[in-house]
Amino acid sequence: MNKLTTQKRAQVISCLIEGCSMRSTVRMTGVCKRTVARLVVEAGEACAKYHDGIMRNLNCKVLQVDEVWSFTYCKQANIPKGMEGKKGIGDTWTWVAIDANSKLIPAYRVGSRGAEDAYFFIHDLKARLADRVQLTSDGHKAYLQAVESAFGADIDFAQLVKLYGNEPAQGEVRYSPAACTGARKTPITGRPVDAQISTSFAERSNLSIRMGNRRFTRLTNAFSKKIENHKHALALYFMHYNFCRIHTTLRVTPAMEAGIADHVWSIEELAKLLP
């Protein structure tokens, strides 16, 4: 790793954050696969450390949270005998919070979809905020106890539950979602503004995560083999999303809109975070 120049590191990172696989990154950059894999680890650790330190005392006002599915090592139904219940194998969920105004992603967590991960995710989000916020989640019950535990009554919290029709029966569209027939807004705590009860930005963020991470593409062999590498890849993605990528509707990066950066980061600047 110490033999790679900053420019070569930036070239590898650029490939990875554009959704290229590790093998295609090797072909395009000429860097061996082992070195690319090591760079993912070191970049992920550096990005996670910087992201954790800078995302503090944020002035976010309207937040949305959601979870996006993936799997690690193998799908849940294919876990080998003797490995059942082992952490980091099977269904893997990424919890994401996004600010509806600045489009900043201040907090995320990789784990299961259970109450424990909901608790740590929401408490981590609370620790990064400066003021009272309005928060919207989907109907996942784990949010109810987690939000109450972290915020108490000092929040305007609502859930948006989408209603779906019958799933498509045709084989060629078996991976398509059922048609959404409506949505039910349910205030939980405080006085959330009805017009701001939405998870649209969080759901759009889920699409961006899938498009920008080869490990999230469906029906391929590009899934993460280890949960640690999955976390490193996501840390790199979120750092690039917040600081390097100009948001189409904002014309600046989310970090600039949120006031925690004063310029658009280049990939070379991101690469300099590495030891």
**What is the tens place of the pLDDT at every residue in 126-147?**
999 999 999 999 999 999 999 9
Residue 100: enclosing H or E segment and its boundaries?
none
The terminus-to-terminus CA distance of the chain in angstroms comes to 9
Q: Supply the pLDDT for residue 86.
A: 85
Predicted confidence band of residue 174 (pLDDT cuts 50, 70, 90): low
Side chain identity at 76, as an amino acid letter? Q
- 38 falls within a domain: yes
Q: Quickly list DSSP for 40-80.
A: HHHHHHHHHHHHHHHS-SB---EEEEEEEEEEESS-GGGPP
The strand ranges marked E within 2-141 are 62-72, 90-99, 107-111, 134-137
Q: Is residue 48 part of a domain?
A: yes
Q: Is residue 141 part of a domain?
A: yes
| Structural domain boundaries, residue 84 | 6-271
Q: Is the pLDDT of residue 18 over 70?
A: yes
> Is 245 in contact with 255 (CB distance < 8 Å)?
no
Instruction: Indicate whether this model's pTM tops 0.75.
Output: yes
Does 1 fall in a domain? no
Q: What is the CATH number of the domain that holds 59?
A: 3.30.420.10
Instruction: Let me know if residue 212 belongs to a domain.
Output: yes
- Rg over alpha carbons for the chain, rounded to the nearest Å, is 19
Give the chain's domain count.
Answer: 1
| Residue 143: inside a domain | yes
Residue 231's H or E segment, with its range, is helix 227-243
User: So what's the pLDDT on residue 85?
Assistant: 81
